[in-house]
Structures are given as C-alpha cells and as structure tokens.
Chain A
Amino acid sequence: MKTVIPDRLQEFFIGFTDEFEVKVPVLTTEGERVFASPFDGPPALSGGALAAKPTAVFFPQQDGVISIGSEGLLHASSAKPLFVAGFTPRDLLCLRFIDRFFAEGYRDDIYFSRRKGALIAAVSGFSGASGGFVPLSGGACDLEFVFDGAVWIVVPYSEPGKRIAARIPDDAADDALAALLEKSGGCVDEDAAIIQAASKLLLNEMVPDRFWDSVAESCIQCTGCNLVCPTCTCFGVQDWRYPDRVERSRMWDSCQLEGFMREASGHNPLGTEGLRTRRRIHHKLAADRTKWGEISCFLCGRCDAACPTGIGIVAVSRMIVERFS
C-alpha cells in the first residue's frame, strides 16, 4: 500500500508540475479551499466538496472560442496535460455525465482540448467536511487519495494513475484500505432517496405550478445554482471587436435568466419565474432521467450551499417529497 503523509502532499504534487499542469485543492490566505497550483498554497484535500465546481477546470466560466486577426485565424497555444486532484466520488459522477454530454452529437473540441489526457484523482475516506467519511469512488478515475485519518492512501486504477503512484514506495499493509472499502459499502445517503422520490413525483406530474411559483418567490436570479453545478453545461457566446482582431468567447449561462430562452419574437417558453424554477429542478430530476437514463444531480451539495435563500436542489426536493408524496 502506498501512502503520503499530509505534510508531504505539497512536495508530492509539485513533483509532477514539470509534466502536468497540476490542480489541487489548496488553502488560500482567506481560509478558502480552491483548485489551484500546488505552488499557490498548502494542499487542502480534506474538507469535502470545494465551493467551485471541479469541472470548471475543463469548462471555465469564460473561455476563448476563436480569435481572428489580420493574419488569419489565431489558435491558443497548447498547454501541458492536466492532473486534477480533488474530485469527490460524487464529482466523478458529474464529470462522467458531462464527458458524455460534451462528446455526443457535436463533440465539444474546446472542452476536450483540456479534458483529453487529463489525469483525474479522487479524494475520499475521512476527508469530508469536519472529518466526515466520504465513501470510496470504486475506481471511476485514474487514482484516488483515501484519508484514513492519519495518512493519504494512494490507490491507482488506470495505467497513468499507476505511473503516478509508482513514485511512492510501498510502505504499509493493505488492511487499512480494506477496512475503508468495507465502511464505504455500508454508507447510506438519505439525500439520494429524497431526490429519487422527488424525481418520481415530477415524472408523474404530481407537482403543481403553484408550488414552483412559491419557490420562485425566493429566487433572486443570482444564477449561482447553475454556475456552481458540475453538470450544468449551458453557455452564451459573445464577439468582441478589437482594433486588430475579433475574439469570440463563451461564458456560463443560466436557465434562471429570463433571456436564456427568450425568442427573437419576444415569446418565451420559460417566461415566468415559476417556469424557470421548475425547469432548473425538472431538468435534472426528470428530463435528464428520460434522456440519459439517470438523474443529473449527483448530490455534490454545491447549489444548496451557494443559494442565498435556501432553495438548492436538495432543499426543493425535500419540499416536494414532504408536500406531494
């Protein structure tokens, strides 16, 4: 079994910075945990899901699409492949979901320009908020950092993951990992049952419009729920004309905005706050379930944490189940 003690994590990750662009949760001077270079601060793998969505590494808030200058099309230079550590097992499910989304139909080259060749490392074990237990991922990543309360057990899955782990000598028996795996199997997630139940009620059209209107009363359209959601993929596009070039870029959009679906005629199929609020929840729990065969909320908890008025997806799902079951 391969382990890294917490005090050596920064050095460990810095060791890969020649080969990769390494992104890892670090602690800022303001005490926030953010995805950044290991040079930017001490690693902070523990603490649960980061506030920002980890998929932003591949799909940032604003991103260049194309730049056309007087000398023709300008391409962004290629960077080193990414090595991103810090996905919770739930984040991995989100990543799998949007990988499929961006690959199907028109493959999103901009997304895959970063995603292709990227190493993904999960974080689990006693690494949740306040030291809570996070069940192990089961391998949907290249490697996993599992905290047993004292050291980080490094578990490689893919060949690239094994090459990373190969830099760590075996230093302990596998008993600790086996115990953590066993503990993972016994974890029950109450929130999962809540959104599954809410999903069924939505699919069976048991939730009336007046409910959505009442939830929407508290929505100030901050758009935070969408912008922190790892499975939200909508974006808008803008063109800026500089004296020497035209730049097209794209930026995260939000279905909570009135302009999101407004047609040129002025008609808007999501023309009320209630309809837009319904759309946010219904899309994840019902529409995606119909289209992709699964709910596209994987309970990362970010929208519930970011919503200033407490109407994130789990909170709303709980209301639905309490009122309409």
Chain B
Amino acid sequence: MKRTFTVCPYCGTGCMFYLLSDGNRLVGVEPSRNHPVSRGGLCVKGWNAFSFVGHPDRLTVPLVRKDGELVPVSWDEALARVVSGLRSVQGRYGKDSIMFASSAKATNEENFLLMKLARRVFGTNNIDHCARLCHSSTVVGLAETFGSGAMTNSIDCIDKADLIFVIGSNTTEQHPLIGTRIINAAKRGAKLIVADNRVIRLARHADSHLRHKNGSDVALLSGMMQVIISEGLENRAFIDSRTEGYHEFAESVREWTPERAASFTGLSAAEISDAARQYAAAGSAMIFYSMGITQHTHGVDNVRCIANLAMLTGNVGREGTGVNPLRGQNNVQGGCDMGALPDLYSGYQKVADPSVRLKFEKAWGGALLPATPGLPLTLAMNAAARGDLKGMFIMGENPLISDPDQAHVLAALQSLELLVVQDIFLTETAQLADVVLPAACFAEKDGSFTNTERRIQLLKKAVEPPGEAKADWEIICGVAAAAGFYGMKYENTSGIMAEIASLTPIYAGVSHRRLPLAGLQWPCTDADHPGTPILHRERFSRGLGKFVPVTYRPPAETPDDAYPFVLTTGRTYFHWHTGSMTRRTHLLDREENRAFVEMNPDDATKLGIKGGERAVVSSRRGEITVFTKLTDVVPPGVLFMPFHFAEGAANALTNNELDPESHIPEFKVSAVRVRRAG
C-alpha cells in the first residue's frame, strides 16, 4: 500500500488528500487533517475521487479515423497526423483557421505548454479554455475595477467575517468544503445573506434569503447600493483614499430606489433595503459568487456591481472581506493564470503589448509571435459553424455536452476538417474526432493546480497511466517535436514550472520545491516571497479601485406565451460537468443516474405532470426528454436542469447568446416549455 499526497481533481476548492494505491491500482482516499483547506474533511466526490481512474473505458491507445472508424495507431502516426492536419488547414485557410482548447482539468504546466504550442509552434493566439464558460466575466469585470480578476481573499477569511453575502453560488454543492465553512460561520453568529431564487442549502442557514428573478442581479445590487448611499452608510474614508470614479457611479445608481429595484427583481423593497443595511453595517463582509452571477449576457455588469458594492463599503483588502469569485474547476484559476486565453500570456500579460511579446519571443527562440488577440472559445465555435474555422485541438474538454446550443456545437464540430481530442475517456466530443490522443488522468502525472484562492499546489503521480496513455504535457511536447520545434523538451514538470516562473511575474517565486503541503498563493514574486493570502491590502492591483457605472439589461431571452418557463442550468453535488468521471464512479452515479428537471409542484399540478415521470422540455433550440423532480427548491415558473447527462443534455436547450465583453453564454436564463411525455 502506498500513499500519495495530491490534489483533488474536482472543484476549485483545492482539497488535498492521500491517494491509496496497491501496486498500480487505486484503492481509496484518506483526508488530510493538516491541509489548510480540507482540514480533515472531504466532500463525497473527493472521497470517491480514486474510483474512476481504473475504469475499463479509459483510453489506452491513440486512435485515428480511417474509413469512418476510429482505429488504434502508434503514437508516431497519431502525432504526425495531428501536425500534418493542423499545418494543412493553416496552409489553406490561414494561421488563425485553427483553435486550441485548453483544459481547466489539466495542470498549470500543461496549460502553459498548450499556450506555448499554439503561439510559438502554430503561430496563432486562438487558444482558450472553459473559463470562457464560467468566469470570463470575472476576469474582465474584476480586472477593470480592481486590476486582478481573481478571488481577493482566502478561504480562511470566512472564519473572520462578520457577514457573508452569497449571490449566485450554490456553495455547499459546488464548493462543498467552502460551503461548510460558511455554514459554520453562520452557526457562530456571522450574518448570512443568500441571493438565489432556488432554496439552496445555505438559504436554510441564512438570515435573509433573497429569491430574486433570474437575471435581475444588476437591479438587486444597484438597489442595495442606492440604499447604502441614500442612507449615508457608505465608507467615505475608503472611497476617498482608495478609489476613483465614485461620483459618476453614485449618479448612475441614484434612480435605483428599492421600490424600482423591487419591480425588476420580484423582491419587496424592504428585503432589498434590509440586505443593504446589513451588508453596510458589518465590520467585515465577504461576498461569494459564482456562475449565477457570471453566466449572463450581462455577466460582466454583474461583476462590476459586486466590485462596486464592496468598494462602496470598504470591504476590500482586509481579513474577512473581499470579492470572492469561486472558481469551478480544480485548475480553472491556473488555466487563466497560464495564459490559456486568446488575449493574454501567462500572468495576465497582454498579447497586444510589444514588450511582452518580445520577452516571450526571446525566451522561446526568437520567432515572431502573433500580435493580434485570438478567438474566445465561444466565438471560435461560432466561427466553425460559419465555416471560418477549420481545425480544432481540444484537450480535456467535452463541448458537445458542456457548451450552449448543442445542435449548433454539433454542426460546428462536424464542419471541421480536423478535430483532435486529447482526453481520458472517449467523450461525446471525442467520438466525433479525427484523432484521439489518450491522456493520463490526475492520479497518473505530476504538476501543479491553482485553487480558487490562488493557492498553487503540487499534484503527484500515484499510479501509471493505462496502456500507452501519456500525461498531457508529454503529449503536447510530442506534438511540438513532431512539428519540428525542439524548444519544448522537459525532463519533468518542475522544469516547466521553472520556465513559467521565469516569464510570469506573479509566479516568479514559485517552484515545485516550495509547494509541498500548503502550496503558495500568488502573487509570489521571488524565491523568498511567502505568497499573498489577501489582495489589494494597501493599494489595488491597478492602483486605485475603479467604480464603474452599470446599466441594467434584461436577459437575452425571457419567457413568453410559447416558452413560458425560465430554464436555469448548473451542476449537482454528485456529478461533475459532462459526467465523464463521476458517471463512471459507482456511488456517485447511483445517487443520480438519470437526467432530470427540477419543477415546482404548483407548475406540475397545472400541467398534469407527476414527480418521477418523463417530461419533454423544449426551447427554440431543441427538445429533450427527462425525468421530473418536483420540489419547492425552484419557484413557480422556473426550471432547473443539470448539464451532466448526455442522454438528456440540458445544453440542447440553452441559448448561445453571449456577454458582449466576456463572450460568456447565458446559461442561467433560457425560455422553455414543458409537457408530459408520451
């Protein structure tokens, strides 16, 4: 029996645990009492994180499509096919006719390398990853207001907060160990305000539960800020010394009386005023948010409002305060940090900045790097559907199930001349591929992940990958070598981190040697820097915090007579994204093994639908049949569906309308109708 101390592969909380292995087989998990995040606990996914690794469905050999069938080939043949395919597409349609999709499930080192592969070897900035679908609104909104698009504070700050305001985050299900800290804070007497129209578990512990209408966040937050200003509850000293743009902002919220906000949100004016007063009165208040804020066509505006609210009351830069976007995947923070983004190199250094490009050009062998920002993932899919993008290299993503408007995604992927998918299972997307590259999973490789509180932690290999599967970083280096680029040879992942540190100021002090047990929180700017648990202490990353006025916009698609329900999508506690890992984990799949829709019992009665029977849910994009789950968790008029189930894919229904700045889709509001099946 061997123990390997490593990082959980699921959410962005970043629990570490021991993987137990017997020979080359994983047999269990043990929590860590000393780890600062997990503190001896785990959630149900963490406890079962070992279980899918040895599944017989794992990909074990490279596959290439021949005569319409995916057939096993050698690595050399597969890599040659990848390189010749990408080069051929570029030769005929231009360098930017291909797209690289990186992965928030892959390590920092692997994200950095795929970014390097795209930019240096294939000469395109068309690289992005699923942060586009989850927190791209945060990266834009917080970078503009604070200068850094990351969680400002640390998980430990929850223990110090007087008030916690959770908006658009089902924390106990999506970041369970963070959710439990919030429950414990409420038990010790901290005030808890929850804004979410579903009765999530945290709502049961809340002092105030605001069930505002989907997509009315700007109205709610503006109403709260109007109350704070009109009642003189703002923090003048903080505003004067630490921020800019206040007066224009204050003018912009003047019209948002609680009564007006109430008319948009469906709340009472008193609920809005009361929440505003509680938040403003707290000595230290933390805001937590997640997809309920970001996945809107006004996602960036939602984030701006949150930043404005925190600055208005001086709740930034201290213990127990801050704006805390909870990052979904275990390395979505790292994917962004590493520059798996179309406009940024690692450390949020701009592609458009000539001095930045020069630095990377020097480090990577002199060739000129592309200067124009590339395509965000969502726009790349649109470009493929239009026929403007012809090749795609997807590492560890399953867009056919995870991206909005499945019919659109299917058409886009089928239109490609070359689709390469690198993954651990033959996902629904991989089944469409021309080349499939078998990858090692989290338990079979080394590297680092960065959690939601910017904590860079060491991933360690516990067992060998199955068959001929290789770590993503090894595959990427293999592609580079097959393309004739020899500047991507590394002995191990710590060598890659050394390159990252040399080119990325916020990671400059990071090395694998410094990461055991608790890791380091960036910025970590030199080898002696202890890391940064709290951002913006003395000054914001951009200098002064910037108030940005926001104008309310409704969701792109609202219910009407033909499609009278609001559909909101998300994840459940027991499954993870497109289910490729959790649906191959016995206990997790047993808990939830079929696609379902949550519906209020009043709606069901009106439609003659019973709980547990099949119902047809349709939107302007598609139609699926799922099982009903009748529950008061959702209010009348609202349906909730998880997107984990390929056989009842919620994204067949969702709307591919994007935020104009972040290009995030509006997963949280679509108009649908529902009827009894059969």
Residues of chain A touching chain B, judged by Cβ–Cβ distance below 8 Å, are 28-32, 34, 36-37, 40, 51-52, 56, 60-63, 217-218, 220-224, 227, 236, 238, 240-243, 251, 253-254, 257-259, 266, 305-310
Q: Are B587 and A257 in contact (CB under 8 A)?
A: yes
Distance (whole angstroms) from the CB of B575 to the closest CB of chain A: 13
Q: Are A227 and B47 in contact (CB under 8 A)?
A: yes
Chain B residue nearest to A240 in the complex (CB) = B56
Verify if B525 is at the interface (C-beta below 8 Å from A). Answer: no
Chain B residue nearest to A61 in the complex (CB) = B28
Some 9 contacts from A to B, beta carbons below 8 A apart, are: A30-B34, A36-B3, A52-B30, A217-B204, A222-B41, A222-B46, A222-B47, A242-B56, A254-B44
Residues of A contacting B41 with CB < 8 Å?
Answer: 222, 224, 306-308
Verify if B32 is at the interface (C-beta below 8 Å from A). Answer: yes
Which of B66-74, B174-182, B480-488 participates in binding chain A?
B174-182
In residues 562-601 of chain B, which contact A (Cβ within 8 Å)?
573, 586-587, 590-591
Q: Which of A36, A51, A220, A258 gathers the greatest number of chain B CB atoms within 10 Å?
A: A220
Distance (whole angstroms) from the CB of B46 to the closest CB of chain A: 8
Checking A30, A37, A220 against B573 with a beta-carbon cut-off of 8 angstroms, the contacting residue is: A220
Known: A34-B18, A251-B586, A253-B587. A309 touches B32 (CB 8 A): no
Q: Are A220 and B201 in contact (CB under 8 A)?
A: yes
Distance (whole angstroms) from the CB of B603 to the closest CB of chain A: 21
Q: Are A220 and B180 in contact (CB under 8 A)?
A: yes
Residues of B contacting A242 with CB < 8 Å?
Answer: 56
Q: What CA separation (Å) do A306 and B517 show in the bound complex?
A: 19
Residues of B contacting A221 with CB < 8 Å?
Answer: 44, 573
Q: What CA separation (Å) do A40 and B1 show in the bound complex?
A: 10
Verify if B184 is at the interface (C-beta below 8 Å from A). Answer: yes
Residues of A contacting B51 with CB < 8 Å?
Answer: 62, 251
Q: Are A34 and B516 in contact (CB under 8 A)?
A: no
Verify if B187 is at the interface (C-beta below 8 Å from A). Answer: yes
Q: What CA separation (Å) do A30 and B31 show in the bound complex?
A: 12
Q: What CA separation (Å) do A63 and B204 show in the bound complex?
A: 38
Known: A34-B18, A220-B176. A310 touches B184 (CB 8 A): yes
Chain B residue nearest to A56 in the complex (CB) = B28
- Tell me the dominant secondary structure on chain A's binding face: loop
Known: A28-B5, A36-B1, A307-B41. A236 touches B180 (CB 8 A): no
Q: What CA separation (Å) do A257 and B573 show in the bound complex?
A: 12
Known: A61-B20, A251-B586, A257-B591. A222 touches B516 (CB 8 A): no
Q: Are A305 and B40 in contact (CB under 8 A)?
A: yes
Residues of B contacting A30 with CB < 8 Å?
Answer: 5, 32, 34-35, 516-517
Residues of A contacting B34 with CB < 8 Å?
Answer: 30-32
Distance (whole angstroms) from the CB of A307 to the closest CB of chain B: 7
Distance (whole angstroms) from the CB of A167 to the closest CB of chain B: 25
Q: Are B176 and A305 in contact (CB under 8 A)?
A: no
Q: Are A32 and B33 in contact (CB under 8 A)?
A: yes
Distance (whole angstroms) from the CB of B203 to the closest CB of chain A: 10
9 pairs of A and B residues whose beta carbons are closest in the complex: A61-B28, A308-B180, A308-B41, A238-B586, A259-B590, A242-B56, A259-B591, A62-B27, A217-B204
Known: A34-B3, A34-B18, A61-B20. A224 touches B31 (CB 8 A): yes
Q: What CA separation (Å) do A60 and B26 show in the bound complex?
A: 11
Q: What CA separation (Å) do A28 and B44 show in the bound complex?
A: 24
Known: A222-B47, A227-B47, A238-B586. A309 touches B184 (CB 8 A): yes
Q: Are A236 and B31 in contact (CB under 8 A)?
A: no
Checking A227, A266, A306, A309 against B40 with a beta-carbon cut-off of 8 angstroms, the contacting residue is: A306
Verify if B163 is at the interface (C-beta below 8 Å from A). Answer: no
Verify if B612 is at the interface (C-beta below 8 Å from A). Answer: yes
Residues of A contacting B46 with CB < 8 Å?
Answer: 222
Distance (whole angstroms) from the CB of B56 to the closest CB of chain A: 5
Q: Are A224 and B42 in contact (CB under 8 A)?
A: yes
Apart from A62-B26, A222-B43, what are 16 other A-B pairs with CB-CB below 8 Å?
A29-B516, A34-B3, A34-B30, A36-B1, A60-B27, A61-B28, A62-B27, A217-B201, A217-B205, A220-B201, A236-B590, A240-B55, A251-B586, A257-B587, A259-B591, A308-B39
Q: Are A51 and B180 in contact (CB under 8 A)?
A: no
Verify if B172 is at the interface (C-beta below 8 Å from A). Answer: yes
Chain B residue nearest to A222 in the complex (CB) = B43
Q: Are A309 and B183 in contact (CB under 8 A)?
A: yes
Distance (whole angstroms) from the CB of A43 to the closest CB of chain B: 15
Q: Which of A218, A253, A305 gathers the greatest number of chain B CB atoms within 10 Å?
A: A218
Verify if B424 is at the interface (C-beta below 8 Å from A). Answer: no
Q: What CA separation (Å) do A272 and B128 show in the bound complex?
A: 42
Q: What CA separation (Å) do A30 and B19 show in the bound complex?
A: 14
Residues of B contacting A251 with CB < 8 Å?
Answer: 51, 586-587
